[in-house]
């Protein structure tokens, strides 16, 4: 399987999971939705504990930066769909 196929499959899996989660959050206060999303991200990031404490800390910092960039890109993409 090519890297493009892997990325496509991963994206499709993520979309299917999002379709299952979105109805649970739908209709809730935006602040509550944000709290749930933030907690899930924190659990995911805190779960990375490879190597020494310093290595784990460095990996988590890298994940936070990567995640922030990805969220920013997605926000721009979604706003483009709305504004476009």
Domain locations along the chain: 1-46, 51-84
Q: What is the pLDDT of residue 55?
A: 86
Arithmetic mean of pLDDT over the chain: 90
Separation between Cα atoms, residue 82 and residue 26, nearest integer Å: 18
The dihedral formed by the CA atoms of 22, 37, 48 and 8, expressed in degrees to the nearest 10: 40
State the angle between helix axes of 30-46 and 53-83 in degrees (0 to 180), rounded to the nearest 10. Answer: 150
In terms of DSSP H, where are the helices of the chain? 3-25, 30-46, 53-83
Q: Does residue 4 have a pLDDT over 70?
A: yes
Q: How large is the average pLDDT for residues 8-12?
A: 90
Q: What percent of the chain has pLDDT over 70?
A: 96
The whole-angstrom distance between residue 49's C-alpha and the CA centroid of its chain comes to 18
pLDDT per residue over 22-47, tens digit each? 999 999 999 999 999 999 999 999 88
């Amino acid at each position: 399987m090519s890297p493009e196929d892997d990325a496509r499959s991963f994206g499709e899996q993520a979309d299917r999971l999002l379709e299952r989660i979105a109805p649970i959050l739908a209709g809730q206060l935006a602040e509550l939705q944000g709290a749930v999303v933030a907690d899930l991200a924190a659990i995911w990031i805190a779960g990375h504990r490879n190597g020494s404490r310093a290595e784990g800390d460095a990996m988590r910092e890298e994940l936070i930066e990567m995640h922030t960039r990805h969220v920013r890109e997605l926000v721009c993409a979604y706003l483009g769909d709305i504004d476009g």
